[in-house]
Structures are given as C-alpha cells and as structure tokens.
C-alpha cells in the first residue's frame, strides 16, 4: 500500500506490536530482539501521533510514528485506554 509512513515501518499495522531491534533508529544494534508492546499514544507537536512501545524483556521505551495504513480502531483503543482505566477512583469527582 502507498500510505504515508509505510516505507520504514517498525510495527505491525494490525496489532501495533514491534520488535526491539534498534538502539537508535535504524541501527539494528539491539541485542534484545524481544517483542515491544504498544502501551500508549503520544501526540507530537503539530498533531502527529506516535505509538509508545515498551520492550517485554528489558523494559526499554521507544516512540514511533504511526503509518497511514495502521488499524484505526486499534489506534483509538490505545489512545482512549487511560480513560477506561483512570489512575484514581471515579467517585473521587463526586467529592469536588
């Protein structure tokens, strides 16, 4: 597919998982090679979205641009996940 961001993709467009292969973008220098779970969406200046990945083996974090053919439903589920699991009880709002 000729969608933006697909030329140098580092993640699956369906599930958004990646692999820990690089220490710096494109160097293929990481010895780890473990799966990297998509854990969040980051909105960069200018409004561009990036997927935040965490390595399941060593815990390394990395942010990567989304691609034009990434699954929009999976991206939205990841983006709204913090709203579904807030870090505090929702009844806390009743006390304000």
Taking only the tens place, the pLDDT of each residue in 40-57 is 999 999 999 999 999 999
Instruction: Specify the pTM.
Output: 0.81
User: For residues 44 and 50, is the Cβ–Cβ distance under 8 A?
Assistant: yes
Fill in the DSSP letter of residue 34: -
pLDDT in tens, 7-29: 567 899 999 999 998 888 778 88
- The residue with greater pLDDT, 74 or 33, is 74
């Amino acid at each position: 597919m000729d969608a933006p961001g697909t030329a140098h993709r580092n993640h699956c467009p369906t599930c958004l998982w990646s692999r820990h292969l690089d220490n710096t973008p494109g160097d293929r220098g990481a010895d780890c090679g473990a799966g990297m779970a998509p854990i969040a969406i980051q909105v960069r200046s200018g409004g561009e979205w990036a997927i935040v990945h965490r390595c399941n083996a060593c815990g390394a974090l990395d942010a990567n641009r989304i691609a034009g053919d990434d699954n929009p439903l999976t991206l939205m589920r990841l983006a709204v996940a913090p709203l579904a699991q807030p870090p505090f009880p929702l009844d806390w709002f009743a006390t304000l």
